[in-house]
Structure 1
């Protein structure tokens, strides 16, 4: 390309390139690049000129070349597929008429901050330092799938709108990021795809607004993050998929608003997470699915739990904040799968690890009562008996109360009306207390029951006391057995 063919604006860029000097066409620092389609030739640069500079630009001895351009309208397609650019590129506050094609390109550094683009095709791009899309507005899909970025990816406050063709708005799938993915305040209208991506640092999506109603809004399945994933104050319209994700640090949904009515709002099945925080926000509008997830610390406030959950197979080491069983048990009753024994066992274990045995017993009692509803009628009947008698073994003193009460009834009844002896000359002296004990205790005998024969109403009372004694003995035995097995 001959220098004589360049426009005055292009000549400025050409001359600044060898020395790495910046060229700024902006009339003011706060100028909006959205109006760039109306910018005249005095600030218009052809993409072909920029391509030549990036690949074969002039050099000066002792200088470090760099392309630093701001406030320009870039016409034509910036086509750098499979090219290698050995210097920094900054095209900030620019307006692109066409989608840049950077597929398979190798770059030292790329900065497109505050620019307006109709899309970006940069799948499998290699960036040796950082890639900046801060405050960008993109009216089409951003394709970065398979990209390798040695440094960080910055997308602070970027706004991306899908083109309506069903393609994800932001494609970051199968990327490798050597530092952080930094995108607080991101606005994405369409799916954000992060599945299979590996991030050596942390992911920051605080204050993001992600919208894809009725469909997946954040696909982060099999995402791998060595640090934290921050989603504080995020607003999502659609569901988040984290199946199989591995997050070494904290996954933080504090103050978040997750909405996908009629379906799941958050799916994190089979994920491995250091800490999961769901707190300080409204209840999710949609189901919470944590099936088969493994979490070291689960910070889950009851107020943030939606009306439907799936906790089958969920394993967690600790559960915070500390709440009484009355606040935690309703969460388990909302499980889509109905009665899930594993969920009760996990909650029991969490209370035992903090030394709250009373709360653990309350959870186990609730588990037995929930299980009772799944049994046939005779099982439910026997369950009610065990519950009333000894609280399924978790309230053993209740059996003593029943025993003392029945003993008092029998003692008073038979003390007022002594039953006649079977053999008057052989019968011992009648004792109403021990006669009642003989009826109530099926194993121990004091010699009273076999020596006296009550009649009429008192005979029916003796039958009732015998049956009650057997029921108490059986339920106590069942409760003791359950306690021994539990320990």
Structure 2
């Protein structure tokens, strides 16, 4: 259902207070349609698509089994959305305004797409969620009371794509399984005085924090397992010597060995192994001693402060 007027400024979800009643849709109607109140004829692909709607009331789909694709574009939800324990297909909420999404224990058989959306006043909660596809947060803005994204124990078959994501509050991913990678190019994570990125015990193939990634707060990757292609960093505001990166790559069946990130030279500073800027052509700097973290194969990145370690 298309309810937009075609005028970009008037159709912005931030201006929903000026929308007329003809653009309002009750959550009871949305829920009934998602749960099959108007099933399509046999053989058709069912989906619920709304564009430019103001959704009134609380959309509570806890425990629901949703067999349809759910798509909102340019919409505004008046209250937080709940998907606790639900089983669903693709969920696409793009360029919309939502006061929080609670999706603990959700099972999503495809993608969760929140690109260009604003989550304000409430967190995105994906604790112990299961996802067969990708999570898209590119160009989204999320501001929670203390933590913006809670995704401990998240298990995915796809990737975590957060390009240019802006958060007010921490991004927490402890114990998450992200086999296709964690992509934070150009993201800005703000949690001054707290933890900006908590990704301890994460298992993934790639961590990409390049293209001006900024964290105002502590970045923790303690005991993360990066068994695959690469670690890329470009942490704005930090000198090269403060970018500590050691990657893990396969070293035989069931084993990983620590490897330095491509294009960086390793230095020893005290008991920690760090990557300090691009290697000079032909340069080989032997390590004078092996740190405890290097011997154990853990990811050596412990914490990065914006401006000091």
TM-score, with length taken from structure 2: 0.74
Q: Which residue of 2 aligns with 1:246?
A: 203
- Equivalent in 286, 293, 297 of residue 360 of structure 1: 286
Seen in structure 2, the aligned counterparts of structure 1 residues 121 and 289 have a Cα distance that, compared at 3 Å, is farther
My pick for the range that moved more, 89-98 or 222-231, is 89-98
| Contact 1:296–1:318 (Cα < 8 Å) also in 2 | no
Q: Which residue of 2 aligns with 1:24?
A: 2
- Equivalent in 8, 13, 16 of residue 36 of structure 1: 16
Shift of 1:183: 1.3
Shift of 1:119: 1.4
- Report the secondary structure of 2:249's partner residue: strand
Seen in structure 2, the aligned counterparts of structure 1 residues 51 and 322 have a Cα distance that, compared at 3 Å, is closer
Shift of 1:282: 2.8
Seen in structure 2, the aligned counterparts of structure 1 residues 58 and 88 have a Cα distance that, compared at 3 Å, is closer
Q: Which residue of 2 aligns with 1:234?
A: 187
Q: Which residue of 1 aligns with 2:128?
A: 174
Q: Distance in 2 between matches of 1:44 and 1:241?
A: 39
Q: After the TM superposition, which residues 47-446 of structure 1 pair with which residues of structure 2 at under 5 Å, given as runs?
A: 47-55=27-35, 57=37, 64=44, 87-107=46-66, 108-117=68-77, 118-128=79-89, 130-138=90-98, 140-163=99-122, 169-190=123-144, 191=147, 192-212=149-169, 217-238=170-191, 239-247=196-204, 249-254=205-210, 255-260=212-217, 265-274=218-227, 275-279=230-234, 281-283=236-238, 295-296=248-249, 316-323=258-265, 328-329=267-268, 332-333=269-270, 340=271, 343=272, 356=284, 359-360=285-286, 363-364=288-289
| Contact 2:181–2:206 (Cα < 8 Å) also in 1 | yes
Q: Output one character per residue of 1:371-395: Cα deviation in whole Å (capped at 9) or x when no partner.
A: xxxxxxxxxxxxxxxxxxxxxxxxx
| Contact 2:25–2:53 (Cα < 8 Å) also in 1 | no
| Contact 2:163–2:183 (Cα < 8 Å) also in 1 | yes
| Contact 1:266–1:288 (Cα < 8 Å) also in 2 | no
Shift of 1:63: 8.4
- Report the secondary structure of 1:277's partner residue: strand
- Higher RCO (C-alpha 8 Å, min separation 6): 2
Seen in structure 2, the aligned counterparts of structure 1 residues 124 and 29 have a Cα distance that, compared at 3 Å, is farther
Q: More helix per residue: 1 or 2? A: 1
Shift of 1:252: 0.6
- Report the secondary structure of 2:185's partner residue: coil
Shift of 1:201: 1.1
Q: Distance in 2 between matches of 1:227 and 1:257?
A: 22
TM-score, with length taken from structure 1: 0.49
Q: Distance in 2 between matches of 1:318 and 1:46?
A: 54
Q: Which residue of 1 aligns with 2:254?
A: none
RMSD: 3.3
| Contact 1:193–1:220 (Cα < 8 Å) also in 2 | yes
Seen in structure 2, the aligned counterparts of structure 1 residues 237 and 62 have a Cα distance that, compared at 3 Å, is closer
Q: Output one character per residue of 1:432-470: Cα deviation in whole Å (capped at 9) or x when no partner.
A: xxxxxxxxxxxxxxxxxxxxxxxxxxxxxxxxxxxxxxx
Q: Distance in 2 between matches of 1:237 and 1:104?
A: 33
Aligned pairs, number: 265
Q: Which residue of 2 aligns with 1:462?
A: none
Q: Which residue of 2 aligns with 1:81?
A: none
Q: Distance in 1 between matches of 2:36 and 2:113?
A: 28
Q: Distance in 2 between matches of 1:150 and 1:180?
A: 10
- The gaps in structure 1 that reach 5 residues or longer are 1-22, 67-86, 164-168, 298-314, 334-339, 368-487
Q: More strand per residue: 1 or 2? A: 2
- The gaps in structure 2 that reach 5 residues or longer are 251-256, 292-309
